[in-house]
Structure 1
Amino acid sequence: MAEIAGDRVMEQRVSLITLGVRNPARAATFYETLGWQRVDSPDGVIAFDLIGQVLGLYPLEALADEIGLAVDTLGQGAITLSYNCRTKSDVAEVLIAAEGAGAEVLKPAQDVFWGGHHGYFRAPDGTIWEVAHNPFSGLRDDGAFCWNGY
């Protein structure tokens, strides 16, 4: 087995999250309405630079073709993307903004058994997002999140 980074073959990180979406322009408008800014991408991906990663929106059919699978076999895995807020009150504000941009709020902001506060929305492209405040894992000044804090 090849050694890439020390004794690991794969460094522990996610570099790019690609969402296969049926309508990339509509999906991009949703994120832009929430205040996100695109970065240049000449390869057909609509890209949003995150802190240490990129969120890419790509036509679902093109993604299936690239992988070599039929669209109906790609599945809709049980996955959520999470956005952590700096304060508890920010959770409801983000959910309201997402709904105003076209999302469906699935679970309104509420306290969670483990001591946090969260809610969920479904973006127009079908992606489910958790919006949370975790008092045990704050955000750095640049917005970076680390499980159980720094």
Structure 2
Amino acid sequence: MFTPSQHDVRRFFCETYRKSVDNAILTPLEAIARDWIVQHPEYAPDFENVEDALAQDYSVEAGRINPFLHLSMHLSIAEQISIDQPPGIRAAFQNLARRLDSEHEAHHQIMECLGQMIWNSQRNGVPPDGAAYIECINRAAS
């Protein structure tokens, strides 16, 4: 399993942004990341300089949204949906996207559920509960 560091993630998005601006060839993962970067133009300044990105503090105390975390969650959710893992996420996503009339907004709602599942797992010292995650998404879709 690949576990990138914070700097690896930031370099990945900055490099993807640079390649996108330069119309360079992207890997399949970079192409997916580019699609999310394009949907979040407000983050473009965060991707323009890799050294600045590596030094930036996106802590809650700093009061800034972490664009690298946000886009990483989009990538993670897109992958989950593509392979329907945990089982049922694809259908739950489709229902939520239909209700919200926006796949992008559905991703943002799913992020809330994903964050809640991870928080509960870490807080209670138990594995992530995929069924509770899907139930949270289904509640948002109803």
In the superposition, the TM-score normalised over structure 2's length comes to 0.31
Structure ranking higher in helix proportion: 2
Q: Rg: which structure is higher?
A: 1
Bigger fraction of residues in strand: 1
TM-score (norm. length: structure 1) = 0.30
